[in-house]
Structure 1
Amino acid sequence: MTTAPKHLKLTVAATALLALAQPAAADTLRLLTWGGYAPEGVIEMFEAETGHTVEVTLSNNEEMIAKLRATGGGGFDLAQPSQDRIAGPQEEFGIYKPMDLSRIDAAQFIPSMLEATKDNTTVGGEVYGVPHVWGTSGLVLDTAKAGMVADYTDLCAPEVAGQVSYRLRRPTLIGFAFAMGMDPFAAYGDEAAYAEILEQVESKLIECKPNVKTYWGGGDELMNLVRSGEVVAAMAWDTGGWKLNEDNPDVTFVAPASGALGWVDTFVLPAKGQADDAAYAWINFVMQPEVAAMITEVAGNFTASKGADEFAPDALKAKYQASFTPEALDNIKWYPPVPAGLEAIEGGVLDRVKAAN
């Protein structure tokens, strides 16, 4: 999930006002999206090929939901919230309409990603989202010094004592749970079962504290710790590991044996969208591998387009393919919506881990 390019920021407010104030013609796609997901070059190609025009409003998850709630799902024809922001808002506010999957070229998607997103965005038997841009958190390692680290719990191994870092946040709890052979996502609907899983994770994280150099809070902090050599094994994002690899070829992102933790920004149809033809045309256009690679080059993250990595810049393609075998891609654990009540359980666990001696 990237920030808006500077050359687009000046138009965001004006575009948003226009989009909300007036209906668009059927051949105009009003797209509510993240910075980098609709590059100018891609828009130009799409408009030339299809005859549709595109009006882009840049946003983030919170703003997308707020805009669509304010209009009952009006003002836009296609939006791109993260997949964990679909089922809940739809159940509560009815701001989306179901996808007509017969109009989606499913062959262009990585199958496991398409199926996971369909599952996580199903409400009342209807699918409301398909995947677009994705990323993961997993292990960032100095492979020359921490090559034995293959999963999250290996961060507790004596070989890396005092040289480990991770955040005291939900991904750490989830990652450790999977590495310990449990499925926290399967327990999301049962608070007692979830609390029992986190109790075991809490004990493990307290046991692991002597290995932790520091709990990192921001990406720049972690990058500096790894660059200085103070940290040789960490939990972090794939793009951070690839960026560090440019400075030190021994450092890279590794998908954990129990599965990297994945987020997905999707395509959804706002309930009152007026240009479904243009919306489906856009989805099928940008999921073409060559076009998807253009988005990856701008956004920095890969898409769910099957085979698009082959068209990415050579350096980025090499890092991606080294980190993600086909098996590792299929093993990604995609974040589902978080039920109410779980954040309080997680917060208590994280507080106790932090306070433990």
Structure 2
Amino acid sequence: MKTLSFGLKFTASALALGLAAPANADTLRLLTWGGYAPENVIEMFEAETGHTVEVTTSNNEEMIAKLRATGGGGFDLAQPSQDRIAGPQEEFGIYKPMDLSKIDAALFIPSMLEATKANTTVSGEVYGVPHVWGTDGLVLNTAEAASIKDYTDLCSDEVAGKVSYRMRRPTLIGFAFSMGMDPFEAYADEAAYTEMLSKVEETLIACKPNVKTYWSGGDELMGLVRSGEVVAAMAWDTGGWKLNEDNADVTFVAPASGALGWIDTFVIPAKGQADDAAYAWINFVMKPEVAAMITESAGNFTASQGADEFVSDALKARYQASFPQEAVDNIKWYPPVPAGLEALEGAVLDRVQAAR
């Protein structure tokens, strides 16, 4: 979730110092994103468990900075994205291994749980489990772009001049998968990754005549789709569902090669003092009916198995149309990015942008 809101349940001392308040045995100090711990969920949890919850809202960079500054202290549960776990753990040792025996695995969508466990494993220990997620894929006007099934279809004659996507790394990754390559597998081999990028660069340059414009902001893209100037785009799921509210022909479609997924996780900071409360919170908010409340608050779905049945009928219908089970299982989850690859990607994006 990439939107911040502040001021849920800080104490006076936390506000004064910019830090979480000292813990007691029954207090869960939660470091999370805006919308992930709504007041109605906190009240239910406190009533059911007897634990109290103090929330600090943040983002990935600030979460890592806070935990690094304290050696993993100050909080009992944090929610960085899954690609911000293995690297910081290897470098700074700011998390504890998860005690998976305390996690109710049946509450999680299996493919998401397994992907997150794999992407957050360090030296044989799992450091994260999934919570809120979202994807990049295709936003289509299905009445005018019915044949578009994958990222490279954006280069087809049917949508010539009416396509938009960002000049950002998700475009490189998505096109690579659509071209039959596995960029995440190539992460471990810089030469192989460079060769892959060269093929994607060639395709994106050839595709330029199809592109109305490269969008840079969500409002810009929404306007282009609403006006009909763009009928096929690479964009995020919640944007497609928002457009669907205005035009039933427009929606998010998971590409045949797989939507590209981010996951915000649960991790236990290394010096957390309330592990029992942390695990209780994880299992509580992953209950389908509670997870649905978080979806309504945050705008994104969670890794809770069956939670889509409890959200509003309109949102449930959009989600289920975009993500049948096979599409969920086919999501390509972003792993940590090795050092140096983003510089290679940036050079490719610059060359594509400049090509005529």
- TM-score relative to the length of structure 2: 0.98
Q: Please report how far the alpha carbon of residue 3 of structure 1 lies from its aligned counterpart in structure 2 after TM superposition.
A: 2.2
What is aligned with 1:134? Answer: 133
Distance, in Å, in 1 between the alignment partners of 2:12 and 2:66 is 12
Per-residue deviation, 1:202: 0.3
* Cα deviations by residue, 1:230-280 (Å, 9 ceiling, x for unpaired): 000000000000000001000000000000000000000000000000000
| Residue in 1 that maps onto 2:23 | 24
Q: 1:21 to 1:79 in 2, by over 3 A?
A: closer
1:26 partner letter:
A
**Is the Cα contact below 8 Å between 2:82 and 2:336 reproduced in 1?**
yes
> What's the CA shift for 1:22?
5.2
CA-CA distance at 1:212 after TM superposition: 0.2
Change (3 A) 1:235 1:331: same
Match in the other structure for 1:355:
354
Q: Indicate the SS of the match to 1:209.
A: helix
Measured after TM superposition, the shift of residue 189 of structure 1 is 1.0
- Map of 1:278 onto structure 2: 277
Structure 1 residues 21 and 289 mapped into 2: Cα distance closer, same or farther (>3 Å)? closer
Contact 2:10 2:54 (8 Å CA) reproduced:
no
Cα deviation digits, residues 37-82 of structure 1 (max 9, x gap) = 0000000000000000000000000000000011000000000000
Contact conserved, 1:19 with 1:76, CA < 8 A, in 2?
no
Q: Find the aligned partners of 1:17 and 1:273 in 2 and give their Cα distance.
A: 21
Number of paired residues?
Answer: 356
How far residue 4 of structure 1 moved from its aligned partner, in angstroms, is 3.2
Number of the residue aligned with 1:204: 203
Matched, 1:115 2:114: yes
Contact 2:9 2:53 in 1 (8 A): no
Following superposition, the deviation at residue 355 of structure 1 comes to: 0.9
Give the 3 Å change call, closer, same or farther, for CA 133–73 of structure 1 in structure 2.
Answer: same
CA distance, structure 1, for counterparts of residue 28 and residue 18 of structure 2:
10
**Which position in structure 2 is the counterpart of 1:236?**
235
Q: Are the equivalent residues in 2 in contact too, given 1:16–1:57 (CA < 8 A)?
A: no
Q: Give 1:14 shift.
A: 5.8
Q: CA deviation at 1:12?
A: 9.1
**What code does the residue aligned with 1:317 have?**
K
1:1-357 equivalent positions in 2, closer than 5 A:
1-5=1-5, 8=7, 15=14, 20=19, 23-357=22-356
Checking the alignment, whether the CA contact within 8 Å between 1:15 and 1:56 is kept in structure 2 is no
Gaps of 5+ in 2: none
Q: How far did residue 5 of structure 1 move?
A: 3.8
The change in CA–CA distance for 1:21 and 1:235 in structure 2 (over 3 A counts) is closer
Runs of 4+ residues over 6 Å off in structure 1: none
> Which amino acid is 1:268 matched to?
V
Alpha-carbon distance in structure 2 between the residues aligned to 1:328 and 1:226 = 24
Contact 1:2 1:299 in 2 (8 A): no
Q: Secondary structure at the match of 2:271?
A: coil
Structure 1 CA distance for aligned equivalents of residues 11 and 171 of structure 2: 35
Q: Compute the displacement of 1:332 (Å).
A: 0.1
SS in 1 for 2:28: strand
In 1, the alpha carbon distance for the partners of 2:345 and 2:214 equals 16
Q: Is the 8 A contact 1:137 1:237 kept in 2?
A: yes
Kindly tell me: are residues 326 and 265 of structure 1, through their superposed partners in 2, closer, same or farther at Cα, counting changes over 3 Å? same
- SS state at 1:149 partner: coil
Q: CA deviation at 1:26?
A: 1.4
Q: Deviation of residue 344 (structure 1)?
A: 1.0
C-alpha separation between the residues in 1 aligned to 2:20 and 2:52? Answer: 18
CA distance in 1, matches of 2:143, 2:89: 48
Identity over aligned pairs, percent: 83
What whole-Å deviation, never above 9, does each CA across 1:188-220 have from its counterpart, x for those lacking one? Answer: 011100001111000000000000000000000
Whichever residue aligns with residue 74 of structure 2, its letter is G
TM-score normalized with structure 1 length: 0.97
